[in-house]
Each structure stands twice: as C-alpha cells, then as structure tokens.
Structure 1
Amino acid sequence: MKAEYIKSAVFEKDYPDTNLPEIAFVGRSNVGKSSMINTLVNRKNLVKVSQKPGKTRTINFFNINDEIIFVDLPGYGYAKVSKKEREQWKVMIETYLLKRAQLKGVVLIVDIRIGPTGDDKLMYDWLQAYGVPTVVVFTKCDKLSNNKIQAQLSKIKKGSEEFLNNYVLFSSITRRGKDELWQIIKELSV
C-alpha cells in the first residue's frame, strides 16, 4: 500500500491542490488518531505518534494509494495550551470541515474507556448540524475485556446514544475493527 505524507497546512490557501476524496480524522488529544492512521495503512510511523497530547498543531495530509487523502486534524480538548491557541485550532478545524469540497466524511475518534466527552459531543453535534457524514470509532478496545466494552457501550447508550448510530470498535494493537473501518471509509469516499 502506498501511503505518503503530502504536506501540513494551517490556512485554507495552503491545502494541497488535489481532487482526491478526503477523509478527516478528529478526536481529543491523545485519543489514538496517529496510531489509527498508521494501523490502517500498515505503517509504524507514517504519522508521528506522541506520548504527549497536543503535538498535532497543523492539518496534515496523507496520500493513500493515489485514491484517497487521509487528513489528520489537531486534537481538541487539550488543556496545556493557551486559550488563544485552542481558539486558533478551533478556527483551523472548522474552516477545513466547512470549506473543503473534497471532504467526504469524518472519523470521530473516542476512547472507549472514557466514552464521549463534552468536547466529543460538541464535535458530533457540530458535524451533524452541517451534514458531514460521520463514523464514530471507539479506540483502545484492547485495554478492556469484551464484557467491559459491552458495559461501556451500555453506559454510552444511556448518556450519548447518538454515538452508537454508526460506530466501530477499534484497536491499533490487535487491529480489531481495521477491515470494518476501511469498508466504511471506502463507502464514504465514493
């Protein structure tokens, strides 16, 4: 599989000039976006994985097989950056999501152990309000037993049932959900 970094951008004028369909990956800081993208493309370090939250500060574009562009958006909800910087990230993310004609769908990533946070709920509602096709992916499933995963899904159903409309259980360690997520990405990309 061909997977290569194209460029990073902050402003719309810097987005790559391509007509390929784009799938954006979004979630709170340290939720496993980079690991997920690396797992999907069978690479260890196409996207840099950091132990420190808040490392992705630009929109990063990756060409996958000259067929699709994966777009890694900055994580949200990270407290150790200034309010001004968080506001700049918000504008950067919203501009991309609203104005990028090539965008075909969003993978909204949520840590299964934590469940949807207030920021995740805001992002989900925002995506739905603007009609952006969205799949929710619960990451880090390898950290819980199947019984605990079911318990978490029941808890999520009580507080945020909308997150269970279209979701995938995923682990970058065991590769659980990889094929299912690829299928959804392919369907969104047409």
Structure 2
Amino acid sequence: MDSPSKRERTRDRLQECALALFEEQGFEATTTAQIARAADVTEMTFFRHFGTKAQAVLSDPFDPVIAEAVGARPVGEAPLLRTVRGLRAALAGLAESDLVTARRRIRLVARTPVLRAEAAVQNEVTAAAIADRLADGVDAFTARVAADAVLAAVTAALYAWAEHADRSLEATIGAALDVLEDPRA
C-alpha cells in the first residue's frame, strides 16, 4: 500500500484536530482558526481541504464506494435489493481502523443539529449517485426511491451504532438492511 501524500496527511491531521476540538468544545464553539492552529497550518490551508467547518466532519471516502458497489450488482436484481446488497458489499470492505474515527464522527453528527442537517444534504448527493447507478435497470423514480429507502435505514442504523459501543457497525447496519430485504425481520 502506498504511503499517504503530504496533502492526505495534512487533511487527516485537520480532520483529527477538528474532531477532537468539536468533542471537547462543541461544534458551534469551535472556529476554523482553532482547528488550523491545532493542526499547525494556516486557516487558508484548512479551507483548501474543506469548504466548510462541517465538511471536516462529514467528508469521507465511503459514499462513492457505496455507489460503485451498487452499480456492480447485477442489473436484473430488483432496485431495492440491488441497493441493499451493494451497500452490504461496500460495508464488507471497510477497514476496522476506519470504524473508530467513523463512530466518533457519526456520534458528533447525531448530537449536533446543524451537522444532522448538513448530513441530510450530503445524503441527497449520495442518493443521487446511487440512483444514477441504478438507472441502467429501472426508471429514475424507482431508482431514487430505492436509494432513499436504503439511506434512511442506514442513517438510522449509523446513529444507533454511534451511541452504543457494544454494537458492531456491520451488525447494526445489517439489521437495518434485513428489514428492507425481508420486512418480516
């Protein structure tokens, strides 16, 4: 595996400093100047990596992976099942090391109304990307309904997972997806 570039290391350091400060002081009370100072970079460098303070929490590499995994599923599958199974495949590829930080980020989002609102906007982008990948097999409306349904279930599961250290991400999201895949679950 290639070692991270300087840009990636700076971005990771900014995200970690932002998360630590948000947890310590609260999202609203933390400034981008404080984050930059903690990461030992300029505020301009912060904005080169993140357009907003919220993006320091919400930016992650998972959404494109989910859309790709959905697109990789057989076109003949029903759109909801294709989306569920694609998401399961993407989830299986997550590294355990990513999950510790993900839980901290999601917990912060779950507890911060402005971040929940920003996450909802971000979910719209993700739903559109998933629906686009489904469009080769179904009409746009059906694709969007399937994408929205799965993301709603996953969001509920993520917020529950973030608050319960005893739950695994895979089991919690798996339980939510089971409801969609088999409503008798």
The alignment's TM-score, normalised by the length of structure 1, stands at: 0.30
Query: Larger % of strand: which?
Result: 1
Which structure's CA Rg is the greater one? 2
Query: Larger % of helix: which?
Result: 2
Greater length-normalized contact order (CA 8 Å, ≥ 6 residues apart): 1
